[in-house]
Structure 1
Amino acid sequence: MASATLFAIFLLSALTFYPPSTTAQPVTDMNGNIVKNGGVYYILPLFFGAGGGGIKRARTGDETSPLSVVQSPFETDPGQPWRIRSMFKSLFIPEGRVSISYEYVQLGEAFESNEWIAVEGQSEGTFVKVGYPNSLSGFFTIHRASSANSYKFQFCSSDGKSCGNVGIVKDEAGNRLLAINQETPFEFVLMQLPSAATKRSTNHEKSYTFSV
């Protein structure tokens, strides 16, 4: 009953803040709970043990700061927390346009922005970065993927007419880079930070062995 009431409240907020033509299904976390607009979550691979862990920043190439967005090579690493926001004034994240950012900045780091952006490489392709001054014009979107609580990201041109999947590619150093216009998208689930998550019955929760 409580879950049904909460879901009704979220839907009411959507109808209040959206015009009906732009309503969309709420994004849900790995346990089926509605993802809060502006909430902080780990971005984890759909299949545990599939060769990598969660999404985080890292130094790649000749970068002097962690400007690349990558998948951790360690399956037990949840990556870092990411704040996900919708452009709409709703309590939840609907499928569609989002911004993804981080809040923790190490002393001495100076970035143009802490949000995900798309940066075109010379021959390697287009990658997801943070802090680069020259980024492609466009935005990220989130969409349901192969299962009820799994999702994928896309990057779209500013007019929204051209979108490409965000997937994983490896560079020569073995880094698992988030790249755009990939045939196979990176499918993921969202896990709320344990400190922020509401206690729920273990009968409705999946178990991950990540150390957080």
Structure 2
Amino acid sequence: GSYYVLPLIRGPAGGGLTLTPRNGNQCPLFIGQERSDINRGIPVKFSNWRSRVGFVHESANLNIKMDVKTTICAQSTYWWVTPAPSPWRSLFIAAGPKPEAGGEDSSRSFFQIKKTESKLNAYKFAYCSDSKDCIDVGTNVEGGVRGLVLGSTPPFATP
């Protein structure tokens, strides 16, 4: 199935996840966040997940895909960690090819769902190049665009 990913705190924290261009270029697309909390965005699908219990396990290596049929860039929408040109040299989450198909380093496409350390009973995404070393996924606003990045504080948490 597909799942909408919404921020834990409603309001100025923004809405659901979406695909967005960066730096004035229409392509490639990056994973971003809707500005308005009213917009649920685009749902995600989890692959590389072989559970028969009907839910996604915490700390399982997952490939995440935006569940949209086509994009203006004619590209697949799997999540990939990529450096982006910016003053902060952040690592962004970009839309890219299916991990097995592209011949790229598929370790840049492994994410996990983790419980937050707060008492809010929430979950977050983490990028895990291997199962022991994970970095939280958060948001960064640059040029009015909310993008998903690695290492942002606080992490993008969802109920």
Is the pair's TM-score, using the shorter chain for normalization, greater than 0.5?
Answer: yes
Q: Unpaired runs of 5+ in structure 2?
A: none
Contact 1:59 1:67 in 2 (8 A): yes
Higher helix share: 1
Contact 2:11 2:36 in 1 (8 A): no
Structural mapping, 1:199-210, within 5 Å: none
What is the aligned counterpart of 2:155 among 178, 185, 196?
Answer: 185
In the TM superposition, residue 53 of structure 1 has moved relative to its aligned partner by 0.9
In the TM superposition, residue 62 of structure 1 has moved relative to its aligned partner by 3.9
In the TM superposition, residue 175 of structure 1 has moved relative to its aligned partner by 0.8
AA matched with 2:132: K
Corresponding position of 1:80:
42
Number of residue pairs the alignment of both structures matches: 147
Structural mapping, 1:98-177, within 5 Å: 98-106=62-70, 109-111=73-75, 113-123=76-86, 124-131=89-96, 137-138=107-108, 139-145=110-116, 146=118, 147-148=120-121, 150-157=122-129, 159-171=130-142, 173-177=143-147
CA distance 1:178–1:43, shift in 2 (3 Å)? same
| CA distances 1:159-179 after superposition (whole Å, capped 9, x unpaired) | 3332111001111x1111100
Contact 1:155 1:180 in 2 (8 A): yes
CA distance 1:51–1:185, shift in 2 (3 Å)? closer
Distance 2:71 2:95 in 1: 16
1:137 is paired with a residue of what secondary structure?
Answer: helix
Runs of 4+ in structure 1 deviating by more than 6 angstroms, as ranges, are 132-136
Higher strand share: 2
In angstroms, what is the RMSD of aligned CA positions? Answer: 2.4
Contact 1:54 1:77 in 2 (8 A): yes
| CA distances 1:51-104 after superposition (whole Å, capped 9, x unpaired) | 311111111214323611111111211111111245333332110122211332
Query: Could you say which structure has the larger radius of gyration?
Result: 1
Distance 1:154 1:170 in 2: 19
| CA distances 1:5-37 after superposition (whole Å, capped 9, x unpaired) | xxxxxxxxxxxxxxxxxxxxxxxxxxxxxxxxx
Distance 1:107 1:140 in 2: 22
Q: What's the TM-score once normalised by structure 1's chain length?
A: 0.61
2:4 is paired with a residue of what secondary structure?
Answer: strand
